[in-house]
Amino acid sequence: MALDATGSEVARPVAICRGLALPLGLLLLWEVSSHSGLFNPQFLPPLEQVATTAWREWASGEMLSDLLISLRRDLSGFAIGTGFGVAVGLLLGLSPVFDRIFTPWFNGLKQIALLAWIPLISIWFGFDEAAKIVFVALAAAIPVILNTLEGIRLTSRKILEVGDVFKFNRRQLIALVYLPSALPSILTGLHLALIYSWLATIGAEYFMAAGQGIGGLVIAGRERFEMDLVLLGIVVLGLVGFVLDRLANWLEYRLIPWGRS
Amino acid sequence: MTSQWTIGSAIARNGPAVVRTGRLAQTVRWFRRGVVPWLWGLVFPAVLFPIWLAGSHWGWLPEQILPKPADVWGTLLEMLRSGELKAHTGISLLRVVSGFVMGTAAGLSLGAAMGLSRTTDDYVRPLFTAIAQVPALAWIPLAMLLLGIGETLKIVMIAVAACIPIAMNTRAGIRHVPREFVEVGDTFKFSAWQKLRLVVLPGAIPSIFTGLRYGLTHAWIALVSVELVASSEGLGYLLVWGRQMFWLDTVLVAMIVIGLIGFITDTLLAVIEQHLQRWRIDGA
């Protein structure tokens, strides 16, 4: 079985042809039925109309500015949430007292479906940019806290004994033993955080009074019943999520050479 | 290996555990394992609660932002007594169950088709993977245009959210049944049906179950999202309503119920999953 650089399977030519059959067939069906008048074009706009809308949005620069706004929201929330998450995770992992007091509560918070936080956050922080970033940060923080904690807990006793032999002080122990040993787990947390923070960005843009951003574009499209705009926005949302996930995979692969199998 | 580490840290935390038998020792052990963690867990609320009480008593924050603890408690009791909470929870649960059942049926058949037949897999999987890249949440505005905002929208969104992880894990489970197991089936001259029933399905069940567990979690998240968008009943509706009226106590009560149901289902499924994994032979 052929593998590419990141270890995933290289598709066989037959598989590629077969894989294209269904999507192309569906697109053809779509095109034919939207022209035949079988369906209301409002529900099923012809493909060229979607393409024109895509080009218009892109050429006017609106799409790009919406995309950048969404990404900035996503990444600021991600940065704040993961920074906070790693710090809290370390604290819980290294201090048995904090661990006993707070860990059950973080495990409990994890159970609340992410979107259910939106009403509470919008009561406390309003609907503007700050509230959205707080929500994204919350989404990013929870998996990072739990995975950092897990990584530290699983630090091998043998490695800790080596630290004892070297008479490491507490700071050295954290920097040279705990952190490297917990790194794979922390990176898993960061990866999850990247996925969740994008999900939270979409949620924030959908549910906290539409502003700018790709999510806002979709909501505006829905309100004006512009199917092409809605489709376009959803495709972009999916693509961004996909690219972020791939990027995280690649980084993880780069940063933990010993984790490659 | 994992268990060795956890045992290690448990010893480090609780001190050397001398193996004792007898009634008293058992009570002590039960107290340490069952009660002490709870006591530690109560420290945080024990500190937070007086601050909350004082804060709301002296009005540090407006009441819409921080209601009195007594009000939240009162709202909870009132909603329990009037049956309001039960009604909304029941509606939400019914939606999740019907969506989940549909999603499971779709996910299992799709996953089995992709897992058992290479050709089907080649045809269907690229499109499926592409669709799965878009989070269920993102589809909601499109689904609202196509399906309206009624019950259909909710059930379909929940079903879609549940279907994706179930299909992926069912496929993976069937694909990863160790070749040796299938060879054993060949040796016994099993028919295709026997191989499916006696070799492939039992081998795939743990993975399928993992898919079901993710599916249920996703279904629950999808429920909250659709109920936030468009609903006149259900737990998500309580959240939206509470926010509009600035009744933080209602919002908090709804969040607690959502968290509790999430916790209960997750724990239950984790226990069943562990049970299903138990027989596994680590030879693959």
DSSP-assigned letter for residue A11: P
Distance CA A201, CA B234 (A): 24
Residues B154 and B228 in one domain: yes
CATH, residue A136:
1.10.3720.10
Contacting residues of A for B242, CB less than 8 Å apart? 119
In a domain, A84, yes or no: yes
Q: Quick one: average pLDDT of A163-174?
A: 86
Of the candidates A15, A198, A222, which has its C-beta nearest B141's C-beta?
A: A222
In a domain, A145, yes or no: yes
Distance CA A225, CA A135 (A): 28
Contacting residues of B for A156, CB less than 8 Å apart? 5
Give the model's confidence band at A259: pLDDT under 50 very low, under 70 low, under 90 confident, else very high. Answer: low
In a domain, A22, yes or no: no
In a domain, B179, yes or no: yes
Q: Do B221 and A237 touch (CB under 8 A)?
A: no
In a domain, A24, yes or no: no
pLDDT of B44 > 60? The answer is: yes
In a domain, B71, yes or no: no
Domains identified in chain B, total number: 2
pLDDT of B2 > 80? The answer is: no
pLDDT at B1: 35
In a domain, A101, yes or no: yes
CATH, residue B195:
1.10.3720.10
Residues B137 and B31 in one domain: no
pLDDT of A40 > 80? The answer is: no
Give the model's confidence band at A154: pLDDT under 50 very low, under 70 low, under 90 confident, else very high. Answer: confident
Residues B119 and B260 in one domain: yes
In a domain, A158, yes or no: yes
In a domain, A32, yes or no: no
Q: Do A234 and B138 touch (CB under 8 A)?
A: yes
pLDDT at A6: 47
Give percent of chain A with pLDDT exceeding 70.
93
Write the ipTM: 0.82
**What is the SS3 assignment for B28-72?**
HHHHHHHHHHHHHHCHHHHHHHHHHHHHHHCCCCCCCCCCCHHHH
Give the model's confidence band at B3: pLDDT under 50 very low, under 70 low, under 90 confident, else very high. Answer: very low
pLDDT at A16: 83
Q: Quick one: average pLDDT of B44-51?
A: 84
In a domain, B254, yes or no: yes
Distance CA B272, CA A174 (A): 37
Measure A126 CA to nearest chain B CA, in Å: 11
Taking only the tens place, the pLDDT of each residue in B91-148 is 999 999 999 999 999 999 999 999 988 888 889 888 898 888 888 889 999 998 888 8
Distance CA B99, CA A69 (A): 34
In a domain, B70, yes or no: no
Distance CA B59, CA B66 (A): 9
Residue with tokens 């490297």: A180
Q: Is A39 on the interface with B (CB under 8 A)?
A: no
Structure-token pair, residue B186: 């060949």
Taking only the tens place, the pLDDT of each residue in B200-255 is 888 888 889 989 999 998 999 999 999 988 778 899 999 998 888 888 888 989 99
pLDDT of B18 > 60? The answer is: no
Residue with tokens 């659709």: B226
**Does residue B42 or residue A240 have the better pLDDT?**
A240
In a domain, B7, yes or no: no
pLDDT at A10: 58
Residues B233 and B144 in one domain: yes
The helix (run of H) or strand (run of E) holding residue A246 is: helix A227-255
In a domain, B65, yes or no: no
Taking only the tens place, the pLDDT of each residue in B75-85 is 889 988 998 89
- Asked if B164 and B110 touch (Cβ cutoff 8 Å), the reply is no
Residues B100 and B25 in one domain: no
Q: Is A101 on the interface with B (CB under 8 A)?
A: yes
Which of A254-259's residues contact partners 24+ apart within 8 Å by CB, and which partners? A255/A183, A255/A187, A256/A183, A256/A184, A256/A187, A259/A184
pLDDT at B12: 47
The pTM for the full model equals 0.83
Residues B150 and B176 in one domain: yes
Distance CA A178, CA A170 (A): 10
In sequence order, which ranges of A95-226 are alpha helices (DSSP H)?
96-111, 117-125, 129-153, 157-165, 170-172, 179-207, 214-223
**Residue B143 CB contacts under 8 Å (≥ 6 apart), including other chains:** B153, B156, B157
Distance CA A5, CA A13 (A): 18
User: DSSP of B94-140, one letter per residue?
Assistant: HHHHHHHHHHHHHHHHHHHHHHH-HHHHHHHHHHHHHHHHS-HHHHH
Q: Which domain holds residue A141?
A: 77-259
A window 166-225, beta carbon within 8 A of B: 198-199, 202-203, 206-207, 218-219, 221-222, 225
Closest CA to A105 of B261, B74, B266, B37: B37
Q: Do A101 and B123 touch (CB under 8 A)?
A: no
Q: Is A254 on the interface with B (CB under 8 A)?
A: no
Of the candidates B40, B123, B221, which has its C-beta nearest A22's C-beta?
A: B123
Residues B27 and B84 in one domain: no
In a domain, A123, yes or no: yes
pLDDT of B9 > 50? The answer is: no
pLDDT of B11 > 60? The answer is: no
pLDDT at B93: 94
Up-side HSE of residue A151: CA atoms within 13 Å toward CB? 27
pLDDT at B94: 95
Residues B43 and B141 in one domain: no
pLDDT of B284 > 70? The answer is: no
Measure A61 CA to nearest chain B CA, in Å: 23
Residues B190 and B91 in one domain: yes
Contacting residues of B for A199, CB less than 8 Å apart? 135, 137
Q: Range with the lowest mean pLDDT among A126-140, A223-237, B179-193, B247-261?
A: B179-193
pLDDT at B29: 82
Domains identified in chain A, total number: 1
In a domain, B43, yes or no: yes
Residues B36 and B155 in one domain: no
**Does residue A59 or residue B57 have the better pLDDT?**
A59
**Does residue B174 or residue A156 have the better pLDDT?**
B174
pLDDT at B41: 79
Residues B149 and B30 in one domain: no
Give the model's confidence band at B58: pLDDT under 50 very low, under 70 low, under 90 confident, else very high. Answer: confident
pLDDT of A76 > 90? The answer is: yes
pLDDT of A80 > 90? The answer is: yes
Q: Which domain holds residue B33?
A: 17-60
pLDDT of B47 > 70? The answer is: yes
Q: Do A116 and B140 touch (CB under 8 A)?
A: no
pLDDT at B186: 84
Closest CA to B130 of A260, A27, A63, A34: A27
pLDDT of A14 > 90? The answer is: no
Taking only the tens place, the pLDDT of each residue in B166-201 is 999 999 999 888 888 888 888 888 888 888 888 888
